[in-house]
Amino acid sequence: MSNMKNIRCVLSGFSLDETILSTVVDGFHRGHRYQVVSDAVACRRPGIDDAASYKQAVIRVIGNFAGIQGSSDVVRASGRIAV
């Protein structure tokens, strides 16, 4: 994992409020820097309130530990992935 400091890591998938959240928080304290693609991450459905609000709240928390970008930001006009 020490090599993680020498690469730019983009996170996507699920679930946002479990594995991705724990990865960015734990990695943050190890000096790893992640970019999370906000529209390429899925979140568990909360027991209360609506799923969209819950996801936004989790993304705000994650934003304290990682960069947040949309897929349109990650995929440039050239079709290349860049962060």
Q: Which residues bind another protein (CB under 8 A)?
A: 5-15, 19-20, 28-31, 33, 35, 37, 39-45, 51, 55, 63-69, 71, 74-75, 79-83
Q: How far is Cα 69 from Cα 59, in angstroms, rounded to an integer?
A: 10
Q: Which is nearer to another protein, 57 or 67 (CB)?
A: 67
DSSP 79: S
Write phi, then psi, for 55 (nearest 5 degrees): -65, -40
Beta carbon of residue 32, minimum distance to another protein (angstroms, whole number): 9
Please, which residue, 57 or 83, has the CB nearer to another protein?
Answer: 83
